[in-house]
Amino acid sequence: MGPIVLFDKSFIEMLSLDEASIFDSLYSSVICPIFYTEVLADLSKEPPGQRSVGKIVADVARKTPILHSTPNVTHSTLCIAELLGTPVDMRGVPAIAGGRAVRRDDGKVGVVYEQSPEAKAFDRWQRQRFFELEGEFASRWREQLKAAQHADMAKLAKAALQISVSPKTLEEALAIAKEVVEGSGQRFRTLKTAYALLGLDPRRWSAVLSRWKSFGGPPLSRYAPYTAHCLLVDIFFYVAADKRLISPDRPSNRIDMAYYYYLPFAMMFVSNDKLHKRTAPLFLNARQHFVAGDELKTDLQALDAYYSALPEQKKAQGLFRIASKPPNDDAFLTTRIWKRFSMKVEQPAKPFDHNENRAANDQILSEMNKMVDAAKTQQGAFNRSELMDPDSISIERMVPLQRG
């Protein structure tokens, strides 16, 4: 699997189905709830031309990565969990829920992931049951954003956190936000403001506050780094919106900014949105990479031509095999990206042996089924090292027989 990518609607919309299939084969995708929210906004719009709203949304759903994609846990769930004592892994891999440790009779340890709410939502997305998703969470959050007066919210946030300085650039806005979030002078105010701005469950506030106090009321950035990251995104937006460095008049800007909650779970971010092009590099760490959507689309077009020109015998092996790694040719952007993340690209392959390949697949399937069967009945204790490096991980996924 390739680099772990967070992407937005603007990127997926511009791809053809063949380009989307190649993207799915060469990259691992983080599917975040904001993506559904943004795409499903089309359900409330007038259809352009002769295309129905359902077809517009269905087109995006058909192009959404399936093979190497992971639905990420919502940021609000992660923040609450972190504030109540569960650390959030921010090393560039998706955050998923529902995993259960299993030990087989032969001693092998695995993790079997049962369907989390996010995985169930992704299943409905793949089955194009859009209105169920819309009614479940997308429309509610989007309507809240539409109703919010971001200019007024910006002033309230600045007042609540006693922000008196004004930025002239986006870089200055981020510096101001970092000073507020990472500072130790108003610890309780910062925690309470984060809880309110991020819309966390008010019923859990008492438990969150009690635990924070029991640790001596530390700075949020040290006590709950992921929650602090999400607060940084919000404070940056409101500080920038107050000076109109970002327009407070477009509800879509607030949705676009919410993608940044999920940057800690990816190695790179792909978007063709103007606001993302201006602001995403500000939030990426030294190990992460931003790629403009139009640049990656051009590269996927070139890769499509490359794979289409292969001999018929080789193409018959299927995209999953011939495009499991990019060509060893730096003319391709994808190849350069793989090398940037120290991933091995395509090497001269030995002749394809169907019998050998079938035997290997049968062995993998057998091992996986043994682990899944063990999960139905077995319980037990596990040490941390076993869970950090299990023998196998099983995730249920619906995959189409043919695509592109």
Distance, CA of 110 to CA of 112 (rounded, Å):
7
Residue closest to 402 by CA, chosen among 121, 31, 18:
18
The mean pLDDT of 196-211, rounded to a whole number, is 93
**Residue percentage of the chain with pLDDT more than 70:** 72
Determine contact, residues 61/130, Cβ cutoff 8 Å. Answer: yes
Question: Does residue 104 carry a pLDDT above 70?
Answer: no
Half-sphere CA count of 281, side-chain side, radius 13 A: 7
pLDDT (0 to 100) of residue 111: 63
Question: Using one digit for the tens of pLDDT, what is the confidence trace for 237-293?
Answer: 989 998 899 998 887 898 899 999 999 999 999 999 999 999 999 999 999 999 999
Binned at pLDDT 50, 70 and 90, residue 14 comes out as very high
The mean pLDDT of 225-230, rounded to a whole number, is 97
Q: How far is CA 299 from CA 23, 84, 296, in A?
A: 10, 44, 5
Question: Does residue 61 carry a pLDDT above 70?
Answer: yes
Burial environment of residue 355 by CB neighbours within 10 A (0 to 12, 13 to 18, 19 or more)? exposed
Question: Using one digit for the tens of pLDDT, what is the confidence trace for 293-335?
Answer: 999 999 999 999 999 999 998 888 888 789 899 999 999 999 9
Residue closest to 11 by CA, chosen among 269, 252, 247:
269
pLDDT (0 to 100) of residue 252: 83
Distance, CA of 280 to CA of 269 (rounded, Å):
8
pTM > 0.85: yes or no: no
**Angle, CA 22 vertex, CA 18 and CA 28 arms, to 5°:** 135
Which residues does 150 contact at the CB level (< 8 Å), separation at least 6? 237, 238, 241, 248, 249, 251, 253, 254
Higher pLDDT, 279 or 111: 279
Mean pLDDT estimate for the chain: 82
pLDDT (0 to 100) of residue 378: 57
Binned at pLDDT 50, 70 and 90, residue 88 comes out as very high
Binned at pLDDT 50, 70 and 90, residue 92 comes out as very high
